[in-house]
Structure 1
Amino acid sequence: MSLILFIEQMLNGLQFGVMLFLMAAGLTLIFGVMGLINLAHGSLYMIGAFAAAWVAGLTGSFVLALIAALAAAAAAGALVEVVVIRRLYARDHLDQVLATFALILMFSEGTRWVFGSFPLFLEIPPYLSGPVRLPGGIQYPLYRLAIIVAGLIVAAGLFALIARTRIGIQIRAGEADREMIGALGVNIAALYTVVFALGAALAGLAGALIGAIQSVQVGMGEPVLILAFVVIVIGGIGSIKGALVGALLVGLTDTMGRFLLPVAFAQVMAPAAATAVGSALASMAIYILMALVLIFRPRGLYGVA
């Protein structure tokens, strides 16, 4: 195992973690501010991917595809919040789970009806294709590096939005005491719609970015949703900083586990057995990580005590 290969896998883990952050940031905002369990968040990720693939196919522009993903996911999120979610805030969490699970089925079948059952493909633009040479002679795909940079820029922008803007102050106040900010004249309904649309737009952006690496297909959001929930549990519900740290931990743990464990077991097992055992343990690694965090930090790494 070479050092270059190890660093490449670390970068892959970082890219995976950044993508998870885009999913988890919106999810933790929605849960933290509204106290809502939104199982349909993965469907918004899927909508962003399909919107991007469709617009890219029509226009050939990757930038327009990203804009379409943001707009489509945000619009779908705002519509869902106004029509469905708004009626669930005062309801039991079980009602929220059942209602948002129904939304998953509706979005999946609606997407299949509009785009068909066959996957779509989003091409990497020429200016982001091919490898880039990094220090140490490392050749790494330029597009994956661009995802890392874009994700970190979005993270910085989100931190600035939450910490330094009026809407950010309202969001943080809504997490602490929604009744009080309502009494101070803040339009709670509008705030919730904005938060939900923002979370949906981040999920749609993640779907569009990852759509150029894997195929865009119905149901692609559900596996990522599970990982996003793991991220916010590790990082702490309602914490953007926790979502970033948790996402990077999950991305690196999953990627490096799949890379290192088969290699480690190959020292004492036959190659086929080492691959099978290492891959099985690697798939459990993030859940073991979550369990360890919850043992020592039951509210997550940056959860409110």
Structure 2
Amino acid sequence: MEFFLISTLNGVIFGLLLFMVSAGLTLIFGMMGVLNFAHASFYMLGAYVAYAVSSTAGFWVGLLVAPVFVGIVGMLVERFLLRRVHAFGHAHELLLTFGLALIVEEAVKLVFGDFPVNYQMADTLRFAAFTVYGTDYPFYRVFMGIVAIVMFVALWLLLSRTRIGIVVRAAERLPQMAEALGHNIPVVFTSVFGAGAALAGLAGAVAGAFYPTNPNMALELGVIVFVVVVVGGLGSLQGSLLASLLIGLFSSFAVGIDWSAADLLALVGLGDWARSLGGLMIMQISSISATIPFALMLLVLLVRPAGLMGERG
């Protein structure tokens, strides 16, 4: 029961962190059809900006400044880089954003060094939220989950209950009609891209104080974020939340399970035969936990190619 509760809590929190990072990418693709390979770099940039600001002005100021700074960077990227290649298709966008990701990574190394930095959370958040079977559960993990939930509710209300959301959805589905009604579609696109980058920057500012802030953090999370968006359904905010929670839970439980195929076959008396085969039969689930998100993506795409909550077409 202790393993189940701790793994569930860790899986939900990690899943909500994945949602914080993937929400911006989902918003950008759903609105603009741009697969931004540099999205995880905005996440890393948010963590480093928050670290630099918090070193002088405090944690909370860094938490506010980081998403604003990263959002402005995102708007500049869309206005002066992506807009120039958007007409040439997804291949040019992927190549451009891939190159941008490499530039951001090297720039971070030049400024902050090729090693983790000491980004610390506020002292007021450094306490145990509750105790589970003698284990103190950090409040900061709960704080990350609260931020993710607030982000989801705010985005959902913004897109479905406000005039801004109506304009954004109109520009997504019928851009020519929206432009004919007097809306500046390029400005809407720039604003959406900046908002998506700002969300990634906020995720980095929040998570960087708990997980290591280092130049490899974008690479570590970047591929999984794309898996989340594909599993949830391209452009679906609710799908991204569901996929993030599933991947977080599966990954959390897989890390702590030492079973193998031979152990399972032993239940029916075939354990010795399976162990004699070696290879995959004796490989523990914990040793292949990093492949769980990709296995889930493969399964979902085989059953539902549009993703869990994606639209067909």
Gaps spanning 5+ residues in structure 2: where? Answer: none
Report the equivalent of 1:100: 97
Matched positions, count = 299
Report the equivalent of 2:245: 248
Check 1:199–1:245 CA distance in 2 against 1; reply closer, same or farther (3 A cut): same
Report the equivalent of 1:8: 6
Q: Which moved more, 1:213-222 or 1:158-167?
A: 213-222
| Cα displacement (A) at 1:183 | 2.0
| Cα displacement (A) at 1:137 | 6.9
Q: Secondary structure at the match of 2:129?
A: strand
Q: Match for 2:306 among 278, 299, 305?
A: 299
Gaps spanning 5+ residues in structure 1: where? Answer: none
The answer on 1:177 being equivalent to 2:184 is: no
The separation in 2 between residues aligned to 1:212 and 1:274, in whole angstroms, is 39
Report the equivalent of 2:23: 25
| Cα displacement (A) at 1:79 | 1.1
- What letter matches 2:213 in structure 1? V
For the Cα contact (< 8 Å) 1:4–1:138, is it kept in 2?
no
Q: Which moved more, 1:172-181 or 1:126-135?
A: 126-135
Q: Deviations over 1:249-269 (max 9, x none)?
A: 111111111123x15679569
The answer on 1:35 being equivalent to 2:42 is: no
For the Cα contact (< 8 Å) 1:18–1:244, is it kept in 2?
yes
Q: Deviations over 1:265-294 (max 9, x none)?
A: 795699xx9996322332222111111111
Q: Match for 1:86 among 83, 92, 103?
A: 83
For the Cα contact (< 8 Å) 2:23–2:237, is it kept in 1?
yes
For the Cα contact (< 8 Å) 2:2–2:132, is it kept in 1?
no
The separation in 2 between residues aligned to 1:160 and 1:186, in whole angstroms, is 21
Q: Match for 1:158 among 145, 150, 155?
A: 155
Report the equivalent of 1:224: 221
For the Cα contact (< 8 Å) 1:35–1:89, is it kept in 2?
no
- What letter matches 1:240 in structure 2? L
The separation in 2 between residues aligned to 1:109 and 1:85, in whole angstroms, is 20
| Cα displacement (A) at 1:177 | 2.1
RMSD: 2.2
Q: TM-score, normalised by structure 2?
A: 0.89
Sequence identity percentage: 38
| Cα displacement (A) at 1:297 | 1.2
Q: Deviations over 1:158-201 (max 9, x none)?
A: 11111111121122222222222122221111101111111111
- What letter matches 1:21 in structure 2? F
Structure number with bigger Rg: 2
The separation in 2 between residues aligned to 1:178 and 1:15, in whole angstroms, is 37
Paired residues for 1:181-220 under 5 Å: 181-220=178-217
The separation in 2 between residues aligned to 1:177 and 1:216, in whole angstroms, is 41
Check 1:211–1:184 CA distance in 2 against 1; reply closer, same or farther (3 A cut): same
For the Cα contact (< 8 Å) 1:235–1:243, is it kept in 2?
yes
The separation in 2 between residues aligned to 1:257 and 1:193, in whole angstroms, is 40
| Cα displacement (A) at 1:219 | 3.1
The separation in 2 between residues aligned to 1:255 and 1:274, in whole angstroms, is 22
The separation in 2 between residues aligned to 1:290 and 1:248, in whole angstroms, is 13
Paired residues for 1:37-186 under 5 Å: 37-59=35-57, 61-133=58-130, 139-186=136-183
Check 1:135–1:284 CA distance in 2 against 1; reply closer, same or farther (3 A cut): closer
Report the equivalent of 1:236: 233
